[in-house]
Structure 1
Amino acid sequence: MDERFASGLSTNHPMGSYLEALHHTGYYYTFIGIAQVAAAILLLIPRTVTLGALLYFPIIVNICILSFAVRFDGSFVSAPLMVLANVYILVWNYDRLKYILPFKKISDYGIIEKPKKYSNKFPFLFFTTVTVVFGLILLVFIYGHEVMPKNSLSDCKKQFIHTERETEGFQFCQCVHKEGKTLDTCLEEFENIND
């Protein structure tokens, strides 16, 4: 109550700065929290799971895009996976959603419409796809960005220890965590040091 989300994250960090500003919006911050709790409750009740997934979808897509935009370690992997889980719930409940969608008639190709009888065969294609997507998300997290601000100054510096860009990396970390400059400014300075 009356505490910023991820309050341990410095306001100099891009995500910390965003959350601090969001916290100062007053009842809008509370509204977002209530919407998240309402979506969670609706997702837990089988009869209202579709409504919960519809409510939660814009929330988690926003969190996912925000995580990538500011390179936030805290939800860089989990947010895209939650988006995929939400999409899975929406597709699974397509038979309930098709009445509110603006399409007149869509061929189901035998994959969207629920079968009259379910097969007991293990869904290898589904689990292979999930494993590949999970692997791709991890690869983007590990190799997608040359530089990450990380969640603290010490974590930021760890990614540069014993590398050829250790000095420039430490300056980048200082720029984000101590000087509080924008992520774009710090990234630009990081790139210009080597030029």
Structure 2
Amino acid sequence: MGHYLEALHHTGYYYTFIGYAQVLAALLLLIPRTVLLGTLLYLPIILNICILSFAVRFEGSLLTAPLMVIACIYLLCWHYERIKYIFPFNNPPFVRPVQNSRFPKLFFAVVIATFLAVGFTVTHLYKLMPRNTQVDCETQCDDSENPEACKVFCESIHNNGQDLDKSLKDYERALKQKK
């Protein structure tokens, strides 16, 4: 992830543009009249961050990015009546719920279930994570099926500067040598 952010920083004004777009989206999301516009601006940004987090196994946003994508999708569904004209179909597959004065227990139950499901999935998705430092990376080796192979992975990432794919190949090779 550090290599990616370093390369992104060297693009010059593109890096700054992304930052301004995120701040603009945040401001638009704070104003009730512009929530939909903020959501439409923020969805591609956070979807990119989410996919990047999964691609490089970045723990910093591995949980929060998918949850923010889900929140954006929820906001788009909530404002479906305002954006339905850009879709090729006329009948929505969902209907905006009727609001009443009762506490929405079912809604909060679904939110909590979604949070737990996403949290469980992303924490159990990968058996190896590069982590931010070699020491942090090696903390996962004690629980590994082959601690030495895990340490080869951490060494490859942090000391040898290899990318994730090369480090995973080194890990697989170390697993095979042990057998």
TM-score normalised by length of structure 1: 0.84
Question: Counterparts of 1:162 and 1:71 in 2: how far apart (Å)?
Answer: 18
- Structure-2 residue corresponding to 1:46: 32
1:99 positional shift: 2.5
Match of 2:91 among 102, 106, 111: 106
1:52 positional shift: 0.3
- Structure-2 residue corresponding to 1:150: 131
- Structure-2 residue corresponding to 1:7: none
SS at 2:20 equivalent: helix
Q: Kindly tell me: are residues 107 and 181 of structure 1, through their superposed partners in 2, closer, same or farther at Cα, counting changes over 3 Å?
A: closer
- Kept in 1: contact 2:138–2:151 (CA 8 A): yes
- Kept in 1: contact 2:22–2:45 (CA 8 A): yes
Question: Counterparts of 2:170 and 2:117 in 1: how far apart (Å)?
Answer: 29
Task: Report Cα offsets for 1:49-95 as digits up to 9, x if no partner.
Answer: 10000000000000000000000010000000111111111111111
Correspondence 1:87 to 2:73: yes
Correspondence 1:181 to 2:162: yes
- Structure-1 residue corresponding to 2:106: 125
Task: Report Cα offsets for 1:159-183 as digits up to 9, x if no partner.
Answer: 1126442211111111011111110
Task: Report Cα offsets for 1:128-184 as digits up to 9, x if no partner.
Answer: 222222112111222111101111111101011264422111111110111111101
- Structure-2 residue corresponding to 1:171: 152
Higher helix share: 2
- Structure-2 residue corresponding to 1:135: 116
Correspondence 1:31 to 2:20: no
Match of 2:53 among 67, 73, 76: 67
List, as ranges, runs of 4+ consecutive aligned residues in structure 1 with deviation greater than 4 Å: none
- Kept in 1: contact 2:67–2:115 (CA 8 A): yes
SS at 1:181 equivalent: coil
Aligned partner letter, 2:164: L
Unaligned ranges ≥5, structure 1 = 1-14
- Structure-2 residue corresponding to 1:8: none
Question: Counterparts of 1:108 and 1:169 in 2: how far apart (Å)?
Answer: 46
1:108 positional shift: 5.7
Question: Counterparts of 2:174 and 2:121 in 1: how far apart (Å)?
Answer: 25
Q: Percent identity?
A: 51
Question: Counterparts of 1:162 and 1:101 in 2: how far apart (Å)?
Answer: 48
RMSD over equivalenced CA pairs, Å:
1.6
Unaligned ranges ≥5, structure 2 = none
- Kept in 1: contact 2:28–2:34 (CA 8 A): yes
Question: Counterparts of 1:88 and 1:148 in 2: how far apart (Å)?
Answer: 30
